[in-house]
Amino acid sequence: MIEYVKIHHFYKSALMRSVRLILFGILVFVLLYTISSGGTPKFSLFVFYIFVMLEVFFHFKIVRVILNI
């Protein structure tokens, strides 16, 4: 249980929130740039979906364990 609290504390720190926000912005920019340049955004969408899946996983697995203490 202590490990979950450490992960949660690190994940909710200001540094990690900033990194996640910047990464999200970069991924959206690359995705929109790929679409506007006429290319197929297969790799951009793949990386974006991986990022979203990690965020959802964290929310539903780690935070739920923390809140049920």
The pLDDT assigned to 21 comes to 92
What counts of helices (H) and strands (E) characterise the chain? 4, 0
Residue 16's closest CA among 58, 45, 60? Answer: 58
Distance CA 14, CA 26 (A): 18
AA letter at 59: H
The pLDDT assigned to 50 comes to 94
Against a cut of 0.85, is the pTM above it? no
* Per-residue pLDDT tens digits of the chain, which is 69 residues long: 677 778 778 888 899 899 999 999 999 999 999 999 988 889 889 998 999 998 888 878 777 776 676
The DSSP 8-state label assigned to residue 58 in this structure reads I
Distance CA 5, CA 13 (A): 12
The pLDDT assigned to 23 comes to 93
The pLDDT assigned to 26 comes to 94
